[in-house]
Each structure stands twice: as structure tokens, then as C-alpha cells.
Amino acid sequence: MFDLGVVRGVFCRMFGLTACILLVAVVAGPRLACGQSVVAVIPQPREMVVEEGNFVLDRATAIVAEGEAVAEADMLAECLAPALGYRLKVVEGHEARDGAVLLLLEKEGSELGAEGYRLEVTPKRIVIRAAQPAGLFYGGQTLRQLLPPAVCESRRVEGVRWLVPCVRIADRPRLAWRGLLLDPARHFLPMDYIKKVIAVMAAHKLNSLQLHLTDDQGWRIEIKKYPKLTELGSWRSETIVERSRDNVPQFDGKRHGGYYSQADIRELVEFARRYHVNLLPEIEMPGHAGAALAAYPELGCFPDRPEPVWTRWGVNPNIFNPSDRTIAFLQDVLGEVMDLFPSKFIHIGGDEAIKDYWQKCPEVQRRIGQLGLKDEAELQSWFIRQMDRFLAEHGRRLVGWDEILQGGLAPGATVMSWHGTEGGIEAAQAGHDVVMAPTTHTYFDYCQGPREKEPKAGGGFLPLERVYGLEPIPPALSGTQRRHVLGAQGQLWGEYIPTTQQADYMLWPRAAALAEVVWSDRSPRDYAGFLRRLGVHRARLDAMSVGYRPWE
């Protein structure tokens, strides 16, 4: 048996630090020497050198911090406390001391940006340095992954020696927008589950959670000025579950619904803030409006023919009439949404707006003529610009799916590109910011294996390896244009996901693969190495009670 420590020392002296890092990853990973802890961090840090020895974390360990760093020290102590069975003491200060974890903000001259960090573990102490509190938080999440996986348990774990391997890590994200989408509009999701997703996201350094709060099948957010949105729009009489051989729809006969009160939303926003996760609200318009129009049919094209909250999947042709009354209504809604969500971005949907009702509606056709527009596509663009202007006046930015490109893009709009990456490329080339969300790599409601062996799902086939193969920045973009790609996002549409257990199954481990795509450097990207680390990471997911899909 060769001495890895000696080999590593000789190799580093001969070939330098970068080669040494590769040696650690290839030869050592994940276990460096007998008795040392497994080192398998997801997402992969930008630079990591593993050295001999361990830091022992125990009751005597204190977390030292001051100023803005104290909140992150408290958060780290809170994350560790359930498994340890005790809470580490947080001590005010800024100097390293033996037997302590020091969180240090160094705002001047840091090349690590708002979310990067440096983590150094020696047998005597642990030091996490960052320019901003978010960096300290992510350094703390990496520290959790250096500890035995049982540290992720929500209850006290007996008989574990809490060893942290000695490492030097310099890390920062590749992309700023690292997101997931949950869809409580189709099947309502309880508050506790959303909180769980936020906590598990943060452990993977994902930082944006889009909540699809409205659709044809349900309205999920309390709007005080328009109470019928939740009184009527948040419930449907039943749900389609399948179709018979002769294509006749079969329904479950059960009432479905629920909504989040404004107090619920404030609670979720505060919970997410502590985990450095931005909650992005989505209020669909002008299409996917069935639940809102069931509550307020006068906002539709044919108010004399009201329709109930939709009980099917697919795309409902019922659509908002873009009248002055409707625009005022929707801007009232967005006003209350902005009061609840501090997010710089507000998502207005804009996708799959079938124009059949607009084509048949005399009032809509008169409006097209009055505005001097060419067709319904230009009318949608005009409508989106009204929302873009309204949000901009309130210091917010509009986000929409890539259909908002049709008829011309509103000046301040950010495009979420789901029809492949083409819409994102077009928007970035025109100087607009982009979030990549292509169906080919990020639709987590798609099957993960042969359809006959998987739970019922929408769409196509999306295995783990394909998610890991996503490249969010297309080569077609120039250097300047590439800066408009904010990041990427995974979508969990809820039509065929009636339980939180199935939501976990569809999200993980694919969301872990996406986390590495958006955080870690593009090169080297090593799927086999990711799978090896994921093998260790499995125990962490188990400890966090994540009901992931098993992988080979």
C-alpha cells in the first residue's frame, strides 16, 4: 500500500496546485486514507485540496462571528443542532481560536463575489471567509457535507464522532440564478413540504424557488381585494386521472384545492430568506387563467358563458380579455403580490395563450384596431408591456416564458426559455436577460426510466445523465451576450404529481445534478465522478428524509 500523503506532496511540488487538486479528486476521492472522513461535496467546489488530519467538532466547539456574520453563525448552529443533540455556542468576535469555527466577512478585495467563500479546516480550527453573508452560508453548507452524513438527520444521532477532514476550499458559483419550480396550482402543496424543499435546495446551493401559484386548475394565493379568487378559484370539483381506451376521460370524483394566506406567504418568504433562497411568484396571464375567470367571469371574453375551475390537464382556451378593467385587476393583484414577495423578479407566465377566444371576441378585435396592432400576437406583446411598465415603476423586473417574444419583447423583460434554448439565444442576442429552462434537460415531471416501470408522468424521458449534460450558456452567444444568461432552472409541473412523496421522487437526484451544472465550473465536467460522489450523498438524502428515485 503506497502512502498517499507522500505521493501527494511529491506530485504537488513537481506539477503545482492544479495538478494536486486533480490528484486528490481522481486518486483519493472519495476516501483519502484509512480513518479519514469521506470527501464528496455536491456541487463540486471550484478548488479543493484535502490534507492530513481532522478537526473534531464537539460540545466545546464554539462558532465565532460578529456583525452580519452572527446571523449566519446562528443558522449554522441551527442546522447542526438536531443531529448533534446540542446547539453550538455562538460567540461574538473576529479572531480565530483553537477548537472554534470562525465566520469572517471580508468585504474588501474579494474575488469570490456575493456567494463565494473560502473554507479552511485544520486540526485546530475551522475558518470560513466570504465577502457577503450568502458566502458564509454556503461555506457552512459545505462544512455540513464534510461531516458524517448523519449530521443531516432531524433527530439526535448517538455514537457518531463528528470529524471534519482537513481541507482548503476556494469556491464560488458559475451562475447567479440556480433554480427550481414547484407547481401547487395543479396539486396543492402543504407549507411544510415547501419548507423542506427550500432547506434541501439550500443544502445543494440552489437559490431560487419559483412558485406557480395560478393556473386553469387552481388559484393558490390570497388577494384581499378580490376574495373570490380563493373562495371560488382555489377549488375544483374533481380531477382527471386517466383516459379509457376509447379516449373517454376518467375522473376521481374528489374535490381538490387549497391556498396560501398572506400570512402563509410571509412565513415562507422569511423561512426562505434565512436559507438564502429567493421565492419567485408566478401569476399567469393572459392565458392559463381558468381559475381566475371562474371567480370573475367578467374579466374574460365571454362573461355570459362562465366556466368552472378546470378539472382537466392541457391548455384551456379561456383567456383574459385585455381590457382596461382586466389590466387594472391584474395590476391590483401584482401590487399585493409585490407587498408579499421582496423578489426583484416577478413572473407573469405569458405561455400557451391560445388566441381562439380573442379571434372570436368583438371587443378584443376592436381593441386590436384601436391600438393599431397587426394581430393577436402583437396584442399579447402590448399586454405584456403594460405589466412590464407597471412592475418597473415599482422597482421590479418582469419574467415570462419564451412566448413573450411573440409580437415583440417588452423592454425590461427577462425570458425563461423552455422551448429548447432558441428563445433564450434570441433574447440574449437582443440584449435581454435569460434563464435557461429547456424541456430537454430541466422538466423534472418527465419520466426517469422506461415509462412502463415509472410512476405516471407527463412529457417525455429525462434521465439523470441528460440533466447533468445541460450547458446553460449556448456556444452561439458571444462573450457579451453570454453575460445575459443568468442561470438555469428545473421545472416540476404538478399535473401527475398528487403527493409530496412523488414530488421528491421526481425532483431528486436530478435537482442535485442541476445544482452542479449551475454552480460548478463547466470544465472539467465528469459524470462518472459525480455518480461516485452521489453514492456518498445518498446517505445525506436519506438523513434529510428525501424520497429520491434510486439510481444505478
Own/partner pairs, 383-388, CB within 8 angstroms, 24+ separation: 383/285, 383/286, 383/322, 383/327, 384/348, 384/350, 384/410, 384/413, 385/410, 385/411, 386/327, 386/331, 387/285, 387/330, 387/331, 387/334, 387/348, 388/412, 388/413
CA 347 from centre of chain: 14
Strand partners, 177: 487
Q: What is the 3-state composition of the chain as percent helix, strand, coil, each rounded to the nearest 5? A: 40, 20, 40
- Give the residue numbers annotated as catalytic, written as ranges: 215, 288, 352
Q: Which three cell numbers stand for residue 163?
A: 470529524
- The conformation of residue 169, written as its DSSP 8-state character, comes to E
**Cβ(115)–Cβ(173) under 8 Å?**
yes
- Distance CA(280)–CA(267), nearest Å, equals 14
Strand partners, 48: 169
- Distance CA(454)–CA(449), nearest Å, equals 6
- Distance CA(209)–CA(58), nearest Å, equals 34
- Distance CA(149)–CA(147), nearest Å, equals 6
| SS3 of residue 214 by DSSP | strand
Half-sphere exposure of 506 (CA within 13 A, CB side): 31
- The conformation of residue 300, written as its DSSP 8-state character, comes to B
Q: Which three cell numbers stand for residue 444?
A: 423534472
String of DSSP letters for 417-459: E-STTHHHHHHHHTT--EEE--HHHHBTTSBSS-GGGS---SS
Q: Which three cell numbers stand for residue 210?
A: 419559483
Alpha helices (H) along 252-355:
262-274, 290-295, 324-340
Strand 235-236 to 256-257 pairing:
antiparallel
**Cβ(29)–Cβ(533) under 8 Å?**
yes
Longest CA–CA span in the chain (Å) reads 84
How far apart, in Å, are the Cα atoms of 461 and each of 157, 268, 468, 528, 538?
A: 39, 32, 14, 21, 23
